[in-house]
């Protein structure tokens, strides 16, 4: 396939996917950082807002697009860069799940927004997942927050895994992880082990035998006492 045809198809597919989201964008207020960041990841900028690397869209610039919710269309495994300045986005804490490869997130830190822990655009809000989820979390020029080099929450070196014992941790994006029980365990917090419960059975059996033995001993002792009384 001709490289020009590949680029045309990529532009067409990207416009179909993100075109509706970009209708309200103000292209007169784009950040120069997007072009530089795209270049740092060996990509090229197409249509001002898309970073393309080897015929794959790896970055999107939503600067001043007046978004109020995080677009689910962006949640794709190959996305590396996302720019969100100039948007009033509310987050429920897991909007960035499934973005395992996300390595560069740029948001605004405008101070006049109301204080809310779940608001991505508030100056009091850190990067998704906090500093433990990113190698770099800093404010630039008093207006923008840069979240760079995402860390694996399941990495023991990071030491933030919240999965219980006898379970496996699967990384699923910034501050997102999935805990699955190991092969031989199941149930609440993976505390139940598969197979015949030998320890529990033995404990119940021994306890039952001791109980009946005690009752039998008391019964015989009572009969002996009654015979002596007669």
Mean of the pLDDT values across residues 163-179?
85
Alpha-carbon distance of 35 to 26, in angstroms, equals: 17
Mean of the pLDDT values across residues 217-230?
70
- pLDDT tens figures, 187-212: 878 877 766 566 676 788 788 888 88
Mean of the pLDDT values across residues 36-41?
91
Q: What is the largest CA-CA distance in the chain?
A: 113
For the chain, the structural domain boundaries read 3-150, 201-229
Say yes or no to pLDDT of 219 above 90.
Answer: no
Say yes or no to pLDDT of 5 above 90.
Answer: no
Ramachandran assignment for 49, one of left (phi > 0), alpha (psi -120 to 50 degrees), beta (any other): alpha
Alpha-carbon distance of 213 to 219, in angstroms, equals: 10
| Res 16: pLDDT | 60
| In contact, 83 and 61? CB cutoff 8 Å | yes
**Where residue 19 falls among pLDDT bands split at 50, 70, 90?**
low
Distances (CA, A) of 196 to 188, 201, 204: 18, 8, 14
Pairing of β 192-193 and β 185-186: antiparallel
Say yes or no to pLDDT of 94 above 90.
Answer: no
Pairing of β 81-83 and β 104-108: parallel
Considering the entire predicted model, what is its pTM?
0.67
Mean of the pLDDT values across residues 99-125?
59
């Amino acid at each position: 396939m001709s490289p020009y045809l590949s680029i045309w198809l990529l532009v067409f597919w990207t416009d179909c996917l993100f075109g509706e989201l970009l209708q309200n964008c103000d292209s007169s207020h784009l950040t120069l950082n997007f072009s530089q960041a795209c270049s740092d990841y060996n990509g090229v900028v197409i249509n001002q807002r898309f970073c393309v690397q080897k015929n794959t869209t790896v970055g999107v610039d939503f600067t001043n697009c007046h978004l109020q919710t995080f677009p689910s269309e962006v949640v794709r495994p190959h996305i590396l860069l996302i720019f969100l300045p100039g948007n009033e986005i509310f987050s429920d804490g897991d909007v960035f799940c499934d973005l395992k490869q996300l390595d560069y997130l740029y948001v605004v830190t405008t101070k006049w927004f109301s204080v809310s822990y779940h608001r991505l655009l508030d100056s009091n809000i850190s990067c998704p997942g906090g500093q433990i989820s990113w190698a770099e979390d800093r404010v630039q020029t008093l207006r923008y927050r840069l979240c760079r080099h995402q860390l694996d929450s399941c990495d023991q070196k990071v030491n933030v895994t919240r999965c219980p014992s006898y379970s496996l941790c699967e990384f699923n994006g910034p501050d997102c992880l999935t805990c699955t029980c190991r092969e031989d365990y199941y149930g609440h917090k993976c505390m139940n082990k598969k197979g015949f419960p030998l320890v529990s059975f033995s404990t119940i059996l021994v306890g039952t035998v001791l109980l009946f033995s005690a009752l039998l001993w008391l019964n015989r002792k009572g009969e002996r006492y009654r015979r002596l009384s007669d």
